[in-house]
Chain A
Amino acid sequence: QVQLQESGPGLLKPSETLSLTCTVSGGSIRHYSYYWTWIRQTPGKGLEWIGYIYYSGNALYSPSLKSRVTMSIDVSASQFSLTLSSVTATDTALYYCARGVVTGTGYSLDYWGRGTPVTVSS
């Protein structure tokens, strides 16, 4: 059974850099069909797709966050990471990692982590 687990600091100050890691177990991170994805959720904005990274290291980010987001992947460790710079209170959210799967019928998120809360506050 594929499992994903987010980890990282839960409290940041404004202007700091958020760094989260997702550890994948029970399946290979190196698969041509999988796009390792970050999503966040807030009561106000709902679910927001942040972006994904492929095992090759190629990544695609949401345009609204692109200037502040970097994703990376460590295939040997079965981990992928999210970095979000210059955080503000609006980045306070529950951050999820998920496995995106691309088939002939499209892209969907079939396995999710439990989510990790991140609060930005001075």
Chain B
Amino acid sequence: DVLMTQSPSSLSASVGDRVTMTCRASQDMNSHLNWYQQKPGKAPKLLISAASILQSGVPSRFSASGSGTDFTLTITGLQPEDFATYYCQQSFSAPFAFGPGTKVDV
């Protein structure tokens, strides 16, 4: 199975900050990596698929990159509604595991 790790597990930031988090896979996944945002009491929301494809309706302050085993998600100009937990998910091979998440808080 592909194992996913994320770092940091949490970070503190302020509105307007540029925030970067990473996701690492235990094996080469090419670009088969998704990013989700989850707010308390809500289901995860798909932000980015295929490592860098921004989903429709997702603000352009979100960007992502990477391939192989190392991936990053960046939020440029953090907004109050961006305080949440962010998960990566590998879509390379079943079981399609999620990372443990990075919590972005104040």
Write the residues of chain A forming the contact surface with B, with a CB cutoff of 8 angstroms: 46-49, 51, 60, 62-64, 96, 98, 103, 105-110, 112-115
8 contacts between A and B (CB under 8 A): A47-B89, A47-B98, A49-B95, A49-B97, A64-B95, A105-B49, A106-B49, A114-B42
Is there contact, CB below 8 Å, between A107 and B91?
A: yes
Main secondary structure of the interface of A (DSSP, over half): strand
How many positions in chain B have a CB within 8 Å of any CB in the partner chain?
Answer: 26
Interfacial chain A residues near B100, Cβ < 8 Å: 46
Tell me which residues across on chain B come within 8 A of A108, comparing CB atoms: 34, 46, 49-50, 89, 91
CA–CA, A62 and B55, complex, Å: 26
Assess whether A49 is in contact with B44, with CB atoms less than 8 Å apart: no
Interface residues of chain B, those whose CB is within 8 Å of chain A, are 1, 31-32, 34, 36, 42-46, 49-50, 53, 55, 87, 89, 91-92, 94-101
User: Interface SS of chain B: helix, strand, loop or mixed?
Assistant: loop
CB distance A113 to B43 under 8 Å? yes
Given A106-B31, A108-B49, verify A47-B94 contact (CB < 8 Å).
Answer: no
Beta-carbon contact of B53 and A105 below 8 Å? yes
Instruction: Report A45 CB to chain B, min CB distance, Å.
Output: 9
Query: In the complex, what distance in Å separates the CA atom of A51 from the CA atom of B101?
Result: 20
| B89 cross-chain contacts in A, Cβ below 8 A | 47, 49, 108-109
A103 to B53 CA separation, bound complex (whole angstroms): 12
Q: Are B46 and A109 in contact (CB under 8 A)?
A: yes
Contact A114 B43 (CB under 8 A): yes
- The docked-state distance in angstroms from the alpha carbon of A41 to that of B75 is 25
Task: Please measure, in the bound complex, the distance between the C-alpha atom of A108 and the C-alpha atom of B91, giving whole angstroms.
Answer: 7
Measured between beta carbons, the chain B residues less than 8 angstroms from A47 are 44, 87, 89, 98, 101
Residues of B within 8 A of A63 (CB): 1, 95
Q: Give chain B nearest CB distance to A51 CB in angstroms.
A: 8
Q: Please give the distance in Å from A107's CB to the nearest CB on chain B.
A: 4
Contact A112 B44 (CB under 8 A): yes
Among A48, A51, A96, A105, chain B packs the most CB atoms within 10 A around the CB of: A105
Nearest CB in chain B: distance from A47 CB, A = 4
**A109 to B34 alpha-carbon distance, docked (Å):** 9
